[in-house]
Amino acid sequence: MCHHRSVIEHAAHPSLPPYVAPAATRVGHVHLKVADIPRALGFYRDLLGFEVQFDLGHAAFLSAGGYHHHIGLNTWESRGGEPPPPGATGLYHVAFAYPTRRDLAVVVRRLMDAGYPLDGGSDHTTHEAIYLRDPDGNGVELAWDRPESAWRPFWEQFRDDPRGLARLNRQLDFGSLMAEIDRPMEADTT
């Protein structure tokens, strides 16, 4: 019996009452199947700067700020494996939101200095984003979220006609982003 099929059939059942997740719900972590733990650590730890909380050899757990883990990596079903072929289902990308625009610029500069390939960037009005792939082909978005007051009016405007959302996407002003590196660091208010 396929467990996933029974879950899908149940979820689509019309007799289920409506449900909305609580507003404080958040994505806690992402767990990725990778082919090689040391190679994946070279990306997430050495380039993006996440700290290893545990490295078990077949799995590793990384975080920012000492959290138990924001990123789980494992080879339980994928050791030596290949990325999924184009057109397959799976994760499109995982997004890491940096606290300041300067923090985003610093990590992007680090990737560029290492010669790591970037797929592109975009200004989505709600946030600025840089796109790339990890060594296993997983999509990664590095982002900085604008304050909600800056984007909420546009978002509300397009709720009735979502086709207008495409107009919120603009070319990223990469020069302006990189100029953030020369600005003084903001004081930590946490």
Is 59 a residue whose pLDDT tops 50?
A: yes
Asked if pLDDT for residue 64 goes beyond 90, the answer is: yes
Last residue in a domain, options 76, 101, 133: 76
pLDDT bin (cut points 50, 70, 90) of residue 11 is low
Q: Identify whether residues 106 and 167 lie together within a single domain.
A: yes
Same domain, 47 and 128: no
CA–CA separation, 164 vs 21, rounded Å?
Answer: 26
Q: What pLDDT, on the 0 to 100 scale, is given for residue 14?
A: 80
**% the chain with pLDDT above 90:** 73
pTM: 0.86
Report whether pLDDT(5) > 60.
no
Lowest mean pLDDT among 40-49, 51-60, 87-96, 127-136: 87-96
DSSP secondary structure of 35-102: S-HHHHHIIIIIIT-PEEEEE-SSEEEEESTT-S-SEEEE-TTTTT--PPPTT--S---EEEEESSHH
pLDDT at residue 138 greater than cutoff 80: yes
Domain extent at residue 58: 28-76
Last residue of a domain, one of 17, 42, 76: 76
Q: Considering the domain boundaries, does residue 44 fall inside one? A: yes
pLDDT value of position 190 = 42
Tell whether 138 is covered by a domain.
Answer: yes
Return d(Cα 70, Cα 29) in angstroms, integer. Answer: 4
188 and 102 assigned to the same domain: yes
CATH number of the domain where residue 110 is located: 3.30.720.110
Residue 189: predicted pLDDT? 47
- On whether both 182 and 132 belong to a single domain, the answer is yes
One domain for residues 58 and 34: yes
Are 104 and 174 found together in one domain? Answer: yes
Q: Average pLDDT of the chain?
A: 90
Predicted local confidence at residue 15, as pLDDT:
86
CA-atom Rg of the chain in angstroms: 19
122, 61: one domain: no
Name the residue with tokens 């879950």: 7
**pLDDT at site 187:** 58
User: Do 112 and 148 fall within a single domain?
Assistant: yes
List pLDDT tens digits, range 110-135: 999 999 999 999 999 999 999 999 99
Q: What is the mean pLDDT of residues 64-88?
A: 95
Residue 82 is assigned to a structural domain of this protein: no
What pLDDT, on a 0 to 100 scale, did the predictor assign at position 71?
A: 97
Count of structural domains within the chain = 2
Q: Is residue 11 part of a domain?
A: no
Tell me: do 186 and 105 sit in the same domain.
yes
Tell me if 7 is assigned to some domain. Answer: no
